[in-house]
Amino acid sequence: MLNGITHKKHFIPGDASYKFRRDYILVGNNDFLLIFDKNGKFISEINAKGGGPDEYKQISDFDLLPDKDEIVICTDKRMAFFSLDGHFIEKKAIP
């Protein structure tokens, strides 16, 4: 059971993908990513869709970096990195 989803914008859509990594559950689709601890308690949301420097246009894929507590979001031409609490870290071009 995923706990902490109290606002309607946090409801999990039918097109969501789920990834179970270490102590976290990642749930996302093309627009946003929800992060839960391994017990299903809500931690944060990454919802930075847009065209600005710390935003993405659409999520193609996402994952937890294995060597640190950072989320990587892949878009068409870039990778965006976020902390587990949802704060933007940096963007890098995909060669």
Q: What is the dihedral of CA 72, 92, 82, 45, to 10 degrees?
A: -70
Q: pLDDT per residue over 48-67, tens digit each? A: 888 888 888 899 999 999 88
Predicted local confidence at residue 1, as pLDDT: 46
Please tell me the pTM assigned to this model.
Answer: 0.82
Tally helices (H) and strands (E) across the chain: 0, 8
Predicted local confidence at residue 9, as pLDDT: 52
**Nearest CA among 15, 38, 26, 29 for reference residue 84:** 26
Q: pLDDT per residue over 18-50, tens digit each? A: 999 989 999 999 989 999 999 989 999 999 888
Dist CA 12 CA 5 (whole Å): 9
Dist CA 17 CA 88 (whole Å): 21
